[in-house]
Chain A
Amino acid sequence: MIPTLLFVAFVVMMLMGVPIGAALGLAGAACIALANSDAQWFGLLAVPQNFYAGLGKYPLLAIPMFVLVGSIFDRSGVALRLVNFAVAIVGRGPGMLPLVAIVVAMFLGGISGSGPANAAAVGAVMIAAMSRAGYPASFSASVVGAAAATDILIPPSVAFIVYSVLVPGASVPALFAAGMIPGILAGLALIVPTVWMARKHKMGALEATLPRPELWKSFVEATWGLAAPVLILGGMRAGWFTPTEAAVVAVFYGLFMGMVIYRTIKVRDLFVILRESGELSAVILLVVSLAGIFAFSLSTLGVIDPVTNAIVNSGLGEYGVLALLILMLITVGMFLDGVSIFLIFVPLLWPIVQYYKWDPVWFGVILTLKVALGQFTPPLAVNLMVSCRIAGVRMEETVRWVGWMLFSMFLVMLAVIAWPELALWLPRYLGY
């Protein structure tokens, strides 16, 4: 009775547009009170305790730092220089600019940790460039939105940090390493349909007439940007710093680059950068902490075990259950953002993962791939919202383009399910 109330209250509030965090916290608090109706203060003292404990975790500090990195690199002008360098390498030809957009988004994914920041940085440069070359705005917005989704797979990634906090058996470095190969595969998987569509529909006919940047000069200008992922990922690999410290080193590296080298960031811009990244981090952190109340009420009510038993004894078998989970998450992913999905579903799914002895790191990569797909699946696609806003198109117009990209990236997810080594080989090789 009480568990049913928990879910019904939560789902109804969420659909009515109540902030996810408030819906989680209120539903959790109501159920704690109902379950402890005879205890002192209805056992509600657990509410502030779990709220505080859900937030007071050192690894979570990496979230505001990586959000800040994304905000700084977004404004540093590094995307423009990387684009010039990439164009100088691949040259001007049909379908080359969309390819450059995807590669640069993947590369920036090695610096920033969140998809929407990536979409903003790449979109600001590429959507204008692609429209000059004759690509339709809806196509450019689709390419940028989809390409930015590789960001949460390619380390560093805010999604992996949240997953790691929820799942004790999966360390941040192991998850980062595990996301590398699937992330690159996802990027390659996007390039194939993108270039094919560009050629088939004869888009970007003007591209061949545009000037090609000089190779050496564009390389020199892009050096600072090219070195950033080496510093962040290499520094973590070499054991110089923890993920949080790597983020903060990247913050100061990005500030130095933006303020001293490229002179794109002024002192007064710092206020806006710090305020916006602080607010975005707080929005994420509040959901994290309020989900702590919800998770606590789930565990005290003991609803997870019966649900788990019902699922594992349903006769679907291991892969049947996995297919069911993916189907469910894809549906949910159309309405919910990635971090919320992790916070709500990882505690629920964890016993199933343990029952089938799935590798927690592998499962994290699958979930993140799912979330990445959700980031550019209309109608609630956070990355597409950003890129459509820049391109000035409605999200409905992107539907005819993103379908093939979604399908292609979905195949990558199937591949990672079929061959877990795609995710697990690199962390094992690196010794995490």
Chain B
Amino acid sequence: MTQLHEQEPPVVAAAEPDEKTAVPLKIEDWLTVIVMALLSLITFANVLVRYFTDQSFAWTEEFSVFLMIVLALVAGSASVARNRQIRIEYFADSGSEKRQRALARFGALMVFALFTLIAVLSVRVVWDDFRFGETSPGIGVPQWWYTIWLPVLSIAIAGRALGLFIRRGRQP
């Protein structure tokens, strides 16, 4: 890399090596790949089945939506660790090194706060689903089978945000 375009904010940061994290990012990466592959295969199978047999399996819709939610949270967790969330870089990525780092830490802390809040509150949602025996509208399985992943994965995102906060706090 030359010094020519050092100020460009990273958008297609594919070539950049990942920062070292305490918990390997491979976990999220593999889950992301598996969920994306499953989503494509299920939807494609649905097209084929409907084409050949004139009927669709409705249960796939509910399961696909669930997989999409898992994708958003799992891959979202990796994107938090890699600091690739959509944000306004204009002010945060200019100014002194110290200011940039302080703002990056503040951003990570806010993500941590939000997902900790969602994790705590969603435990109550899961408990209600479990207590009242709610079943899913499509397949009729217990609703908590789906919602249980919301607190679990929210904690993962909060953890990634905390990791980013700590890493940005270290002296370079």
- The answer to whether A142 has its CB under 8 Å from any CB of chain B is no
- The answer to whether A421 has its CB under 8 Å from any CB of chain B is no
Interface string of A378-396 (1 = CB under 8 A from B): 0110100110110011110
CB distance from A280 to the nearest CB of B (A): 8
CB distance from A283 to the nearest CB of B (A): 5
- The answer to whether A330 has its CB under 8 Å from any CB of chain B is no
Instruction: Find chain B residues with CB under 8 A from A25 CB.
Output: 114, 118
Interface string of A44-58 (1 = CB under 8 A from B): 110111011001111
Tell me if B121 and A47 are in contact (CB < 8 A): yes
Tell me if B43 and A283 are in contact (CB < 8 A): no
Interface string of A36-68 (1 = CB under 8 A from B): 000001001101110110011110110011001
Tell me if B147 and A335 are in contact (CB < 8 A): no
Stretch at the interface among A92-100, A180-188, A240-248, A314-322: A240-248
Tell me if A55 and B125 are in contact (CB < 8 A): no
Tell me if A241 and B47 are in contact (CB < 8 A): yes
Tell me if B11 and A386 are in contact (CB < 8 A): yes
Dominant SS at the A interface? helix
> Which residue on chain A has the smallest CB distance to residue B85?
A19
Considering only residues 123-153 of chain B, those with a C-beta below 8 Å from chain A are 124-125, 147, 150
Tell me if A52 and B121 are in contact (CB < 8 A): no
CB distance from B88 to the nearest CB of A (A): 5
The answer for the CA separation of A29 and B122 in the assembled complex, in Å, is: 13
Tell me if B4 and A20 are in contact (CB < 8 A): no
CB distance from B32 to the nearest CB of A (A): 4
CB distance from A182 to the nearest CB of B (A): 25
Instruction: Find chain B residues with CB under 8 A from A385 CB.
Output: 8-9, 11-12
The answer for the CA separation of A287 and B78 in the assembled complex, in Å, is: 15
Stretch at the interface among A9-17, A171-179, A359-367: A9-17
CB distance from B15 to the nearest CB of A (A): 10
Of the four ranges (under 10, 10 to 19, 20 to 34, 35 or more), the interface on chain A belongs to 35 or more
- The answer to whether A125 has its CB under 8 Å from any CB of chain B is no
> Which residue on chain B has the smallest CB distance to residue A51?
B118
The answer for the CA separation of A244 and B121 in the assembled complex, in Å, is: 32
Instruction: Find chain B residues with CB under 8 A from A394 CB.
Output: 4-5, 7-8
> Which residue on chain A has the smallest CB distance to residue B11?
A385
Tell me if A380 and B36 are in contact (CB < 8 A): no
Tell me if A17 and B61 are in contact (CB < 8 A): no
Tell me if A26 and B85 are in contact (CB < 8 A): no
The answer for the CA separation of A401 and B77 in the assembled complex, in Å, is: 39
> Which residue on chain B has the smallest CB distance to residue A244?
B43
The answer for the CA separation of A426 and B37 in the assembled complex, in Å, is: 35
Tell me if B11 and A389 are in contact (CB < 8 A): yes
The answer for the CA separation of A49 and B150 in the assembled complex, in Å, is: 10
User: Given the interface contacts A16-B103, A65-B40, does A380 sit within 8 Å of B88 by beta carbon?
Assistant: yes
Find the residue from B8, B35, B47, B84 having the highest chain A CB count within 10 A.
B47
Considering only residues 28-54 of chain B, those with a C-beta below 8 Å from chain A are 29, 32-33, 35-37, 39-40, 43-44, 46-47, 51
Residue from B43, B92, B107 within 8 A of A61 (CB atoms): B43
Considering only residues 85-141 of chain B, those with a C-beta below 8 Å from chain A are 85-93, 103-104, 106-107, 110-111, 113-114, 117-118, 121-122, 124-125
User: Given the interface contacts A245-B43, A380-B88, does A26 sit within 8 Å of B114 by beta carbon?
Assistant: yes
Instruction: Find chain B residues with CB under 8 A from A283 CB.
Output: 75-76, 79, 84-86
Considering only residues 291-343 of chain A, those with a C-beta below 8 Å from chain B are 335-337, 339-340
Residue from B14, B39, B110 within 8 A of A22 (CB atoms): B110
Residue from B68, B74, B84, B87 within 8 A of A64 (CB atoms): B68
> Which residue on chain B has the smallest CB distance to residue A120?
B12
Tell me if A45 and B91 are in contact (CB < 8 A): no
The answer for the CA separation of A274 and B114 in the assembled complex, in Å, is: 28
Q: How many CB-defined contacts (below 8 Å) exist between A and B?
A: 208
Tell me if B40 and A251 are in contact (CB < 8 A): yes
- The answer to whether B71 has its CB under 8 Å from any CB of chain A is yes
CB distance from A251 to the nearest CB of B (A): 5
Tell me if B86 and A17 are in contact (CB < 8 A): no
Considering only residues 63-94 of chain A, those with a C-beta below 8 Å from chain B are 64-65, 68
Considering only residues 49-78 of chain B, those with a C-beta below 8 Å from chain A are 51, 61, 64-66, 68-69, 71-76, 78
Interface string of A268-289 (1 = CB under 8 A from B): 0011101111110111111101
Tell me if A20 and B122 are in contact (CB < 8 A): no
Find the residue from B68, B84, B89 having the highest chain A CB count within 10 A.
B68
> Which residue on chain B has the smallest CB distance to residue A337?
B86
Instruction: Find chain A residues with CB under 8 A from B7 CB.
Output: 394
- The answer to whether A116 has its CB under 8 Å from any CB of chain B is yes
Considering only residues 245-276 of chain A, those with a C-beta below 8 Å from chain B are 245, 248-249, 251-252, 270-272, 274-276
> Which residue on chain A has the smallest CB distance to residue B100?
A17
Instruction: Find chain B residues with CB under 8 A from A61 CB.
Output: 39, 43, 64-65, 68
Q: Which 8 A-B pairs have the closest CB atoms?
A: A17-B92, A282-B75, A19-B85, A285-B72, A278-B32, A48-B122, A282-B76, A248-B43
Q: A274-B36, A275-B36, A393-B5 are in contact. List 17 more A-B contacts (CB 8 A).
A: A21-B86, A22-B110, A29-B117, A45-B121, A47-B117, A49-B125, A64-B39, A65-B40, A240-B51, A248-B43, A249-B44, A252-B40, A252-B44, A275-B32, A337-B86, A379-B90, A389-B8
Q: What are 20 inter-chain pairs, A to B, with CB distance below 8 A?
A: A17-B87, A20-B86, A45-B124, A48-B121, A48-B122, A56-B66, A60-B68, A61-B65, A64-B68, A252-B44, A274-B33, A274-B36, A278-B36, A279-B32, A282-B76, A283-B79, A285-B68, A340-B86, A388-B8, A392-B4
